Amino acid sequence: MGLGAAGTAGLDIAQLPLEGEILGDAAHALQPLGVSARTRGIEFNCRHLQRVDFGAAGDLLNWTVQQQGQGRQVVFKHVNRLVAAFFGVIGISDSARVLRRVD
């Protein structure tokens, strides 16, 4: 699966779903985001994200570090416990906010 743009609606925060399983190379899923220069934050709704493998997590880490370097805050919301723990181990939580699901 991957990413699907829900749209920014002219706001400075892009809100996008991250769904299913992200396996292997995540760059192909991140490329079509179309984040503009005025975008200051990117929020991923991860409620339907089931799994991220090591290769894809590395791509997500590199991407979040790049976004942070451009002054954008990245937030992964509603992340399941296993993926949130993995994001912590891989270092994604150092460059992005990872908010665990409460249900």
Give tens-digit pLDDT for 19-63.
899 999 887 667 656 677 788 899 999 999 999 999 999 999 999
Nearest partner of 33 among 70, 73, 72, 6, judged by Cα:
6
With a cut of 60, say whether residue 4 has pLDDT above it. no
Query: The whole model's pTM is what?
Result: 0.84
Confidence band for 13, pLDDT divided at 50, 70 and 90: confident
Cβ atoms within 10 Å of 9's Cβ, excluding its own: 8
